[in-house]
Homo-oligomer: A and B are copies of this chain.
């Protein structure tokens, strides 16, 4: 839970910029047939032939998006990659390459960056994406990670945010809210640690929640699952800022309304227990907590049979005419307008 416990500390300035880049990237292998040239020239060269190219980018800032007090650097590197790949998956495309740029203050020794890059390398390996470029520089304060993810898809495979129809079903993969509660658990432990550094936390009851926060996964498997089911979503987005915020995006982009059913929300038992312990409403957490990196999509009603009883998917609502608005239907059958209270990087300053 500590940023850097390694006794060895090599100053970054000993290596210089080019030395650092080649040291950190020396073990990156090229696997994707679309990568013609990776790191080492002015730019990487890719060849997607008849496929479409999908590109997304994210900037992660220490103190805004992550706290190194409880986020180990290897996990951070892994998560930084996953967060970006999730956007590619949300287009129903296959992630193929990433570029990784970092800015670090000189409080980070080389060994800390090696940890970070170990996580990046692990994610690249598991998700089979090539690291094809990047930039390494110093920052005035803290660590900043900028990743651009590139993917490929056939034109007919791509799913946008704007294709939902009025009677489509709203489906989410996996379960939601756990990553946010994992963050609450970690924040509490950080405070306990600050009061009593000798306290040994017992986190057994929260292992799933913490894993969802520290080591989330992008749903790269969903594209293949949908193909196997011969099912193409009409619209899709990933759940990064919070379910309500993402639903509103799909509705606005598709000019549709939506009814979301509280009793359908897929919640892990650990989440329910933790919400009771923290005395917070699990529905609030599930619809406003972010960072689940599950996929949210709409399908035609006729396709319902293809996913029913499939443990990967939960139907949580249905689309409506735009004029009906966007609502949460509670367990008590009351209709509440859904608002985006998702995580907002700029309001959190």
Binary B-proximity of A146-179 (CB < 8 A = 1, otherwise 0): 1011110001001011100000000000000000
Tell me if A231 is interfacial: C-beta within 8 Å of chain B. Answer: no
Tell me if A76 is interfacial: C-beta within 8 Å of chain B. Answer: no
Interface residues of A in 324-349 (CB under 8 A from B): 344-349
The reply to whether B140 and A58 contact each other, CB–CB distance below 8 Å, is no
The reply to whether A47 and B52 contact each other, CB–CB distance below 8 Å, is yes
Which range holds the interface residue count of chain A?
Answer: 35 or more
Contact of A42 among B45, B48, B52, B238 (CB under 8 A): B238
Centre residue among A15, A93, A135 by max chain B CB count within 10 A: A135
Q: How far is the CB of A283 from chain B (nearest CB, A)?
A: 23
The reply to whether A53 and B42 contact each other, CB–CB distance below 8 Å, is no
Contact of A346 among B12, B253, B349 (CB under 8 A): B12
A55 to B155, CA, bound (A): 21
A102 surroundings in chain B (CB, below 8 A): 59
The reply to whether A55 and B59 contact each other, CB–CB distance below 8 Å, is no
The reply to whether A55 and B43 contact each other, CB–CB distance below 8 Å, is yes
Q: Identify which of A83-91, A119-127, A181-189, A202-210 touches chain B.
A: A83-91
The reply to whether B17 and A138 contact each other, CB–CB distance below 8 Å, is no
Contact of A36 among B43, B52, B101, B345 (CB under 8 A): B52
Query: Contacts A103-B59, A138-B349, A349-B106: A43 and B54 contacting too (C-beta < 8 A)?
Result: yes
Write the chain B residue with the least CB distance to A51. B47
A321 surroundings in chain B (CB, below 8 A): none
A90 to B134, CA, bound (A): 16
A149 surroundings in chain B (CB, below 8 A): 43
A46 surroundings in chain B (CB, below 8 A): 52-55
The reply to whether A150 and B42 contact each other, CB–CB distance below 8 Å, is no
**What 6 additional pairs, Cβ within 8 angstroms, besides A48-B48, A138-B345?**
A17-B344, A37-B160, A57-B101, A61-B138, A61-B140, A99-B148
**5 A-B Cβ contacts within 8 A?**
A12-B349, A43-B90, A43-B151, A45-B53, A101-B146
Instruction: Please give me the 7 A-B residue pairs with the lowest Cβ-Cβ distance, nearest first.
Output: A43-B56, A146-B146, A42-B90, A137-B345, A141-B141, A46-B53, A59-B101
